Amino acid sequence: MIGADEIIDMRNIRVKIAYVGTAYHGFQRQNNSMAVQNVIEGALSKLCNEPVVINGCSRTDAGVHANEYYFSFTTHSRIPCKNIVSGLNSFLPSDISAYQAEEMPEDFHARYSCKGKEYLYIIENSQAASPFLYARCWHYPYPLDITSMKDQAKCLCGTHDFSAFCGSAGIKDDNTRTVNYINIGKNDDIISIYICGDGFLYNMVRIIVGTLAEHNGEDISVTERILQSRDRNTAGITAPAGGLYLNKVMY
């Protein structure tokens, strides 16, 4: 039985990681499929020599990647934070890496303490797909005009009801979210779309990207009409998971 003094000594640790999501059924723990959370909890439990349950900063879909991801967990272990990073990496597969660990206040929670997130979506806009980018981007072989995409995206910035950009499985009573910015750039055949907001609905970023691609070159009022409709059927396709990266997490 754990005594009162041991409960007081519990540490709350935040860990920064990155991962390639191709082999995983999303971040959140699954009973019948391998998820990133399953792998990390198994590794941490070995490292700390006790059962460990982690709280992730976000759910990510199957095949989605993370350039920056945070989770938090509590532990009785006295392992120094720098050793948590090296020790955890010794148990993790090569497609998941830990970069930083730090002690946080008792009330810190990786998800609920988060103030905002930035996602990156990568489109390879070329006739032939690069094999080196397989499952790391959306290969889109048709012409895309990023000036048109930027114009279409302007109306999505701000606070709106994003029901039209939400997958049916994620519909909630309140689908209002704030998008701080959508920045779109192109370097050779690679189009990078950065979307930052206070929170995102299920498949929201992927539907926004699919809509910008599908209505590329059309009147700039099209996206605004889709937004105002609050109807998912009016929006474009859901862009593939492999092009999406959780890029930054704000606390």
* Residues belonging to the active site: 61
Let me know: does 61 contact 167? Beta carbons within 8 Å.
no
Contact 172, 197 (CB under 8 A): no
Residue 13: which H helix or E strand, with range?
A: strand 11-19
CA-closest candidate to residue 89, choices 12, 15, 10, 14: 15
Scanning the chain, the segments in alpha helix (DSSP H) are 4-8, 36-48, 81-91, 146-154, 204-214, 221-229
Q: Which long-range contacts (CB under 8 A, 24 or more apart) does 155-158 make?
A: 155/220, 155/223, 155/224, 155/227, 156/182, 156/208, 156/223, 156/227, 157/181, 157/182
Beta bridge partners of 16: 70, 100
Return all residues near 210 (Cβ < 8 A) that are at least 6 apart: 235, 236, 237, 238, 239
Tokens for 92, please give them.
């993790």
